[in-house]
Amino acid sequence: MKYVSTRKGIEATAPETVFQGLAPDGGLYVPVVGASLRDARGRLGEASLPGAESLPAAEKFVLDALFGDFPAEVRKAAIDRLLSRFPAEDPVPLVEKDGLHMLELFHGKTGAFKDVALSMLPVFMRHAAGGRRVLVLTATSGDTGSAAMQGFAGVDGTEIIVFYPATGTSRIQRLQMTTPGEPNVHAVGIRGNFDDAQAAVKRIFADPAIRAEAAAHGITLSSANSINTGRLVPQIAYYVLAGAKLNGTDVRYGAPAPQPGEFDVVVPSGNFGNILAAYYAKLLGSPIRKFIVASNVNDVLARFVKTGVYDPGPNFTVTNSPSMDIRKSSNVERLLWMISGGLDGDIDRACAETSRMMKDLAEKGRYELSDSAKDRLFADFTGGVATPEETEAEMRRMRESAGYLVDPHTAVATFVAKKLGLPDGAPCVVAATATPYKFPETCLRAYGEDVLVAPPPSVAGLDKLPVAQTRVCDVAAIDSEVTRLF
C-alpha cells in the first residue's frame, strides 16, 4: 500500500508513517485510495472472511489491506496484544437498544474507543523504530491520553508525554492520566484547551531545532494521536466488524454489498478520526450508506459536513462531553485530500487543494471546499448537534426507554440519530465511545441518583491510587516540558 502526505505528496511506507507520525510537510499521511486500494480490496474479496464476526478477523482484514508493509508476524503480534488486553470474549459487542445498534467500543483498559488501536500501536511503533528510541508526544481532550499511557507503559525503547487540559476533563479522566507511575509515561496538565495542546505538538514536530536536539540525544519524535496512521488504521475494523455482525459472516468485502446490507453510522466526533475510520471501512467494501457527525455545541464539524465551509469561529465552550470540545480537527485534512482528487488517484490536485485550504485556515481562520468536493461530501455525510442540556436529557431518555446507560458523548450521538429520524429503513450503528463510569458527575446530574454501582476495571480503584503525575504548565511552556525529557 502506497502512502503519501496530504500537502506535498511525499511518499512513505506504512512503517515510516507510524514512525514519523506527522508528515515532514506538516500534513498527514494517507493511503492512496485509488487503484492500489481497489486492487487490495479485490484480492481480499476473492474469498469471504471466515469468522468475520470476530474482532481479530476484522483487524486482520484491515491490516492486510493497509499495513501490508509490516511483516505478517508483526501484524499478528499487534492483534494478539490487543486481545490480551480485553477481558471480554467479544471485545466489541453490537447490541440493539431503542431501535439503534450500539457498537460498544469501551471495554478496554481505559473504557474508551481508543483502547483498541492504542493496544496495537506500540507493536507497530517498536518494529518501525528498529531499535531507535522514540518519544511519543500526545495531545488529548480526555481519552487518548490515558489509553496511550496504558498502551505504552513499560514498552522498551519508548517514552510518552501527554498534554491534557487541566480544566475541562472529568475527574476520572484526570485520574487515569495522573495515577500511572511507570517511569516511561508522563502527563502534563496545560492551562488551555485541546486545540492549544494539539497546535503546540504539531509545531514541535515541525520545528527543526527541536527535532535536531532530540536527534542529538538519540531520540525520534512521534505521535499517538489519530494523526498517526497506527492509531487510525486499527479503528477501521470497528465498522468492518459492525457490517459483518449485521449481515452475517458470509459478507464478501471487496465487492459492492447488496442494498439490504447497507447501514448508517453515527459517531460523536471531536478530532474526526473515528468517523474517518468508518469512511475508510466503506472504501474497503463495508456497506455504509451515510455518515452522521454528532457534535456538541463546539459544532464546527456538524456545520462543516452540512455546508462545506470549515469555520471554527471565535467561541469555545467547555461542555459535559469534554472529549469533543475541539474546534480544529486534524483528521478532516485526510478527508479533504480524498474528496479533492485523492479518490480519483489525482495526487497532485488533491495535494494542491488541501494545501490551499490549510493555508486559508492558517491565514483567514476558515476554508471552503470546491464545488466538486462539496458534492462528494454531501453525498456521504450529514450532521447534527446536541446541547449540554439535550445531552443529559437524552441520557435519561435512553435509561428510561431502553434501560441502557450511556456516557454523554454517546448520548450526543443517540440524540442526533433520533433527531434525524434514524433508523429510516436501514440499520443505524451508533459508536458508543466511552463507558458512562468515566463521567460520574454528569451521570449524577442526568439520572438524579447514583446509578454507577458496578464500576468496570477501567475505573475501579482509581481513587485509591497515588497521584504520580503532578506537572501543570502554561501553553508557552510545552516545548520545555518536551525537551526536559531529552
Planar angle of CA 315, 147, 77, nearest 5 degrees: 140
Contacts of 48 by beta carbon, 8 Å cutoff, 6+ apart: 249, 250, 251, 252
Q: Catalytic residue at 306?
A: no
Q: Which set of grid coordinates corresponds to residue 374?
A: 462539496
Helix (H) or strand (E) holding 135: strand 133-139
Q: Of 60, 109, 114, 438, which is the active-site residue?
A: 114
Distance in Å from the first CA to the final CA of the chain? 34
Q: Is residue 149 a contact partner of residue 222, using CB atoms and an 8 Å limit?
A: no
The DSSP output letter for 158 is: E
The DSSP output letter for 397 is: H
Q: How far apart are CA 322 and CA 319, in angstroms?
A: 6
Q: Is residue 177 a contact partner of residue 146, using CB atoms and an 8 Å limit?
A: yes
DSSP string, 248-299: -TT--TTSPPPGGG-EEEEEE-SSSHHHHHHHHHHHTT--EEEEEEEE-SS-
- Rounded to 5 degrees, φ, ψ at 211 are -65, -35
Residue numbers annotated as active site: 114
